[in-house]
Structure 1
Amino acid sequence: MPSAPPKPCSHPGCGALVRDGSGRCAKHPAKAWAKRPDTAKRITGRKLQQLRAALFSANPLCVACEKLGRVTLATQRDHIVSLGEGGADVPGNTQGLCDDCHEAKSLAEALRGRRLPPR
């Protein structure tokens, strides 16, 4: 059975040929993913459920839809300033959004995060 031809190392500027299929030579191993140490701690469990219930009982409508004059029930607890951008997981940094508005906001944050240099 024929084997795949060697490919150049995917590290910028390295032209070493790699035969094992990993994409990296021995000099440039791929870094393992690790969570940043300054990432905010997320609230989970019963406390999160209590915060969601309090948020939706205080304002059951989607904040973004209300600004546009639409009436839509909020189904997502959203961080106004995302945790990835330095926001805290506190009640003052949350708002209720519908699924569509939450998805649009999350996509915009993800695209913005890819363009920003790492902190």
Structure 2
Amino acid sequence: MPTAAPRPCSHPGCGVLVSDGTGRCAKHPKVQWSKKVTAAKRITGRRLQQLRKELFEREPLCRPCFRAGRVTLATMRDHIIALEEGGLDEESNVQPICADCHDAKSEAERARGVQRAWSSYRER
């Protein structure tokens, strides 16, 4: 049975050839993803639905749009400081936001997350 040609280790900066099919050399094993022990507990279900309803009754317009002088109906309950970045799931850290503002904010948060993930890569 033919085997695949060796490929370089997929760890950034490592060029060791690997032929076992894992994509990583013995020096750079791939870390298995698991939920962080410190991950914030998210509010879900009916409790979240009630909180969304109360937020939109209290403040129906998108807060970032309103600050920019636009009038846009809010459709999402957003954490001002993302839970992943240390924010808490409480009312003082929540804002009403429209889909466009949410997408832009999420993209910026995602980029910061990628930076955090890549910053942990260093030669062992």
TM-score for the superposition, normalised by structure 1: 0.86
Give the distance between the partners of 1:14 and 1:102, measured in 2 at CA: 37
Partner of 1:75: 75
C-alpha displacement at 1:92, in angstroms?
1.3
Residues 45-84 of structure 1: matches in 2 within 5 Å? 45-84=45-84
Q: What SS does structure 2 have at the residue aligned with 1:104?
A: helix
Alignment size in residue pairs? 118
Q: What SS does structure 1 have at the residue aligned with 2:77?
A: strand
Structure 1 gaps, min length 5: none
Residues 1-119 of structure 1: matches in 2 within 5 Å? 3-11=3-11, 15-116=15-116, 117=119
TM-score for the superposition, normalised by structure 2: 0.83
Give the distance between the partners of 2:66 and 2:13, measured in 1 at CA: 51
RMSD between superposed Cα atoms in Å: 2.1
C-alpha displacement at 1:78, in angstroms?
0.2
Structure 2 gaps, min length 5: none
C-alpha displacement at 1:20, in angstroms?
3.0
The share of aligned pairs that are identical, in percent, is 61
Between 3-12 and 107-116, the greater mean CA deviation after superposition: 3-12
C-alpha displacement at 1:69, in angstroms?
1.2
Give the distance between the partners of 2:111 and 2:28, measured in 1 at CA: 28
Q: What SS does structure 2 have at the residue aligned with 1:81?
A: coil
Segments ≥4 residues shifted beyond 6 Å: none
Q: What SS does structure 1 have at the residue aligned with 2:56?
A: helix
